């Protein structure tokens, strides 16, 4: 993650990499998953292996936390934003991964329902998440 942050300082660690950082779920990605602005070019990088996702507007800027890892500031989405993003990209990562993240994050008290709803509205997945949130809460 540190090398990815140096490569793209305005990028944000997202999805499976953010889940692994926050210790939610069992997924351990082989690549660093990073979100960048949809208008930015994707430069070629040999190492570390990076998987780029394109976000825009408040879906890119909201829920960003800055953590210092090995003396380097790394931008990572908050646990609530990460779980909501998993539902947004459920077709790429699998609904089972999104559900596991929601259940485990809620069990570990990593977020509140208010935070989840806030990000679900920003990412336009509130209607998709509603039945799952009713079961968890």
| 39-81 pLDDT, tens digit each | 887 767 778 889 999 999 999 999 999 999 999 999 999 999 9
d(CA 119, CA 59): 8
Question: Omega into 8 within 30° of 0, i.e. cis?
Answer: no
Buried b (16+ CB within 10 A) or exposed e, 64-78: ebeeeeeeeebbbbb
Residue 43's pLDDT is 67
| Contact status, residue 63 vs residue 80, Cβ threshold 8 Å | yes
Burial of 127 (0-12, 13-18, 19+ CB in 10 A): exposed
Residue 44's pLDDT is 74
Beta strand residue intervals within the chain, DSSP E: 12-13, 32-37, 50-55, 64-69, 72-77
Residue 5's pLDDT is 86
Query: What number is the average pLDDT over the span 31-46?
Result: 85
**What is the distance, to the nearest Å, from the Cα of residue 109 to the centroid of all Cα atoms in its chain?**
17
| 83-92 pLDDT, tens digit each | 999 999 999 9
Reported as a pLDDT band with limits 50, 70 and 90, residue 116 is very high
Reported as a pLDDT band with limits 50, 70 and 90, residue 1 is confident
Residue 41's pLDDT is 75
Residue 80's pLDDT is 97
Burial of 87 (0-12, 13-18, 19+ CB in 10 A): buried
């Amino acid at each position: 993650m540190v090398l990815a942050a140096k490569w793209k300082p305005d990028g944000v660690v997202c999805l499976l990499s953010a889940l692994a950082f926050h210790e939610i779920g069992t997924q351990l990605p082989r690549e660093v998953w990073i979100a960048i602005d949809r208008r930015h070019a994707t430069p070629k990088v040999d190492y570390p292996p990076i998987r780029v996702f394109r976000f825009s507007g408040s879906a890119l800027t909201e829920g960003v936390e800055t953590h210092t890892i090995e003396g380097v500031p790394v931008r990572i989405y908050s646990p609530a934003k990460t779980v909501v993003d998993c539902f947004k990209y459920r077709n790429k990562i699998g609904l089972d991964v999104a559900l596991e993240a929601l259940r485990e994050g809620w069990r570990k008290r990593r977020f509140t329902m208010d935070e989840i709803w806030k990000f679900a509205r920003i990412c336009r997945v509130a209607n998709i998440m509603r039945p799952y949130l009713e079961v968890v809460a």
